[in-house]
């Protein structure tokens, strides 16, 4: 199987380039080789490579900046995935694409007013530009008729790149006190888990000779949208405290005592883009249909930090 991987320099793409090894021929490209804002280049690359599967973690992910660059964000997140999927369809390839909890408005509640996790059946209603562009990308892929897996993940962190974990470690090494929002709930998800789990499902559901039918039939059996997150729910403040509880045990991550993490509300942290308060995604469909193991956010955090310590030795 020939796999075209986009965005190999991103948090998820970097891990995917490693996790996908062994599944076939991996052609990993970066922005210079396949710029998602250049639709002709996208078409040319796919027509030249002729992959069996396209894995697309490349995206415009700067949530606040997207508010002032809506056209560029829409081109990369909303239009390019549709062009990729149209080209894939023409050559009989499938697409695995990543989307986000930010397609929802965060207002889902139960009878007692408590937050209830979103399922794949819930109707998206994004409240910021990034979320609107990611939803447009999902819709364009579905409209193309190309075999697809749309994996909605959330709160992605990694040992490198731009993410909340590394921001906390940096700030924690500089300051004695941090103020972190404590009323947005979701699932922090490690890019290493995303990549390993993606590779596992490709292997078990699309490549393995145990799976019934030819590749198109195998894809058709699992086609659709899946929530794709580590399990358990926490606020950003709770996540920050979890990070420092682990990092405090490791002098390579934190060179001083852990900062005091104060709980604040979203209203106390003004930013250009509104964020959903409820970002909880249910992993029930992921576990039932794709049958992959889902680590808890705290297990994955420990695994990630252990790897980071190994990097710094
Ligand atoms: N980060 C998060 O918290 C979450 C991410 N997601 C989704 O998961 C996926 C992976 O995200 P993540 O790995 O964290 O993102 P990153 O921001 O870490 O990486 C984004 C990747 O996309 C590439 N890229 C950006 N613009 C273009 C362009 N015009 N043409 C080609 N490539 C481009 C970047 O290249 P370069 O290095 O050159 O900039 C980089 O390789 C995305 O679809 C994202 O929307 C979903 C939920 C949460
Ligand atoms: C640095 C900092 C952040 N925060 C808050 C702001 C915000 O609500 C929360 C997280 O900040 P971030 O800027 O990392 O969040 P954000 O960039 O919105 O993260 C999102 O990225 C996109 C790509 C997604 O798809 C989402 O799933 C989600 O991961 O923490 C504080 O309260 N105090 C602080 O000191
Ligand atoms: Mg961010």
pLDDT digits (tens, 9 = 90+) for 70-113: 999 999 999 999 999 999 999 999 999 999 999 999 999 999 99
In the chain, % of residues over pLDDT 90: 89
Q: Whose CA is nearest to atom 2 of ligand 2?
A: 180
What would the mean pLDDT of 7-30 be, rounded to a whole number?
A: 97
Q: What pLDDT sits at residue 252?
A: 84
Which is more confidently placed, 253 or 45? 45
User: Which parts of 202-296 fold into alpha helices (H)?
Assistant: 215-222, 236-247, 284-285
Residue with tokens 């040319």: 44
38's CB contacts (< 8 A; 6+ apart) are none
- Give the number of other CB atoms < 10 A from CB of residue 277: 21
Domain at 229, CATH number: 3.40.50.720
Q: What pLDDT sits at residue 312?
A: 55
pLDDT(311) > 70 = no
Confidence of residue 310 (pLDDT cuts 50, 70, 90): low
Our count of domains for the chain comes to 1
Measured torsion, CA atoms of residues 211, 217, 143, 52, in degrees rounded to the nearest 10: 70
190's CB contacts (< 8 A; 6+ apart) are 156, 157, 158, 230, 295, 297, 300, 301, 303, 304
Q: What pLDDT sits at residue 107?
A: 97
Residues lining ligand 2, judged by CB closer than 6 Å? 61, 63, 100-102, 154-156, 164, 167, 178-181, 184, 236, 269, 275
pLDDT(278) > 60 = yes
Q: What is the pLDDT of residues 231-245, one digit of tens each?
A: 999 999 999 999 999
pLDDT(216) > 90 = no
pLDDT(189) > 90 = yes
Residue 15 token pair:
């891990």
> Which of the listed residues 6, 7, 17, 236 should we mutate to test ligand 1's pocket, taking the one with most ligand atoms within 8 A of CB?
7
In the chain, % of residues over pLDDT 70: 97
Q: Which of 38, 37, 29 is nearest to 56 (CA)?
A: 29
Residue 37 token pair:
């804002």
278's CB contacts (< 8 A; 6+ apart) are 104, 106, 107, 108, 109, 115, 116, 118, 185, 186
pLDDT(285) > 90 = yes
Residue 280 token pair:
């909880």
Give residue 280 CA to ligand 2 midpoint distance, Å. 15
Q: Whose CA is nearest to atom 19 of ligand 1?
A: 10
Give residue 209 CA to ligand 1 midpoint distance, Å. 32
Q: What pLDDT sits at residue 77?
A: 98
What would the mean pLDDT of 34-61 be, rounded to a whole number?
A: 98
Residue 254 token pair:
């934190």
What three-state secondary structure class fits 23? Answer: coil
Q: Active-site residue among 98, 102, 130, 226?
A: 130
Q: What is the pLDDT of residues 26-38, one digit of tens each?
A: 999 999 999 999 9
Confidence of residue 307 (pLDDT cuts 50, 70, 90): confident
Domain enclosing residue 66, as ranges: 2-312
What's the rounded Cα separation, in Å, for the pair 20 and 275? 32
Which atom belonging to ligand 2 lies closest to the Cα atom of 186? 27
**285 neighbors 120 (Cβ within 8 angstroms):** yes
Q: Which of 67, 104, 59 is nearest to 84 (CA)?
A: 59
Rg (CA), the chain: 19
pLDDT(215) > 80 = yes
**Residues recorded for the chain:** 313
Q: Whose CA is nearest to atom 6 of ligand 1?
A: 100
> Which of the listed residues 11, 77, 99, 102 should we mutate to test ligand 2's pocket, taking the one with most ligand atoms within 8 A of CB?
102
Q: What is the pLDDT of residues 124-143, one digit of tens each?
A: 999 999 999 999 999 999 99
Give residue 52 CA to ligand 2 midpoint distance, Å. 35
What's the rounded Cα separation, in Å, for the pair 40 and 299? 42
Average pLDDT, the chain: 95
**273 neighbors 67 (Cβ within 8 angstroms):** yes
262 counts as catalytic: no
Which atom belonging to ligand 2 lies closest to the Cα atom of 163? 14
Confidence of residue 157 (pLDDT cuts 50, 70, 90): very high
């Amino acid at each position: 199987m020939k796999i075209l991987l986009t965005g190999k320099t991103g948090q998820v793409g970097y891990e995917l380039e490693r996790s996908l090894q062994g599944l076939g021929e991996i052609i990993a490209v970066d922005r210079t080789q396949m710029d998602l804002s250049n639709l002709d280049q996208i078409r040319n690359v796919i027509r030249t490579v002729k992959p069996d599967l396209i894995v697309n973690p490349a995206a415009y992910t700067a949530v606040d900046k997207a508010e002032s660059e809506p056209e560029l964000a829409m081109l990369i997140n909303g239009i390019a995935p549709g062009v990729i999927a149209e080209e894939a369809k023409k050559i009989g390839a499938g697409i695995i694409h990543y989307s986000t909890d930010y397609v929802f408005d965060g207002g889902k509640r139960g009878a007692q007013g408590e937050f209830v996790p979103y399922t794949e059946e819930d109707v998206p209603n994004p409240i910021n530009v990034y979320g609107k562009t990611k939803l447009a990308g999902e819709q364009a892929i579905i409209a193309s008729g190309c075999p697809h897996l749309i994996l909605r993940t959330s709160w992605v962190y990694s040992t490198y790149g731009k993410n909340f974990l590394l921001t906390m470690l940096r700030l924690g090494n500089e300051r004695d006190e941090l103020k972190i929002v404590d009323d947005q709930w979701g699932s922090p998800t490690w890019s290493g888990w995303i990549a390993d789990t993606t590779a596992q499902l490709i292997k078990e559901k699309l490549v393995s000779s145990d799976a019934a039918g030819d590749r198109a039939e195998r894809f058709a059996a699992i086609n659709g949208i899946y929530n794709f997150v580590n399990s358990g729910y926490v606020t950003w403040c709770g996540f920050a405290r979890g990070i420092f509880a682990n990092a405090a045990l490791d002098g390579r991550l934190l060179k001083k005592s852990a900062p005091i993490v104060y709980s604040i509300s979203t209203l106390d942290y003004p930013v250009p883009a509104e964020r959903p308060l409820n970002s909880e995604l249910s992993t029930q469909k992921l576990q039932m249909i794709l049958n992959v193991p889902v680590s808890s956010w705290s297990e994955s955090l420990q695994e990630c930090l252990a790897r980071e310590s190994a990097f710094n030795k």
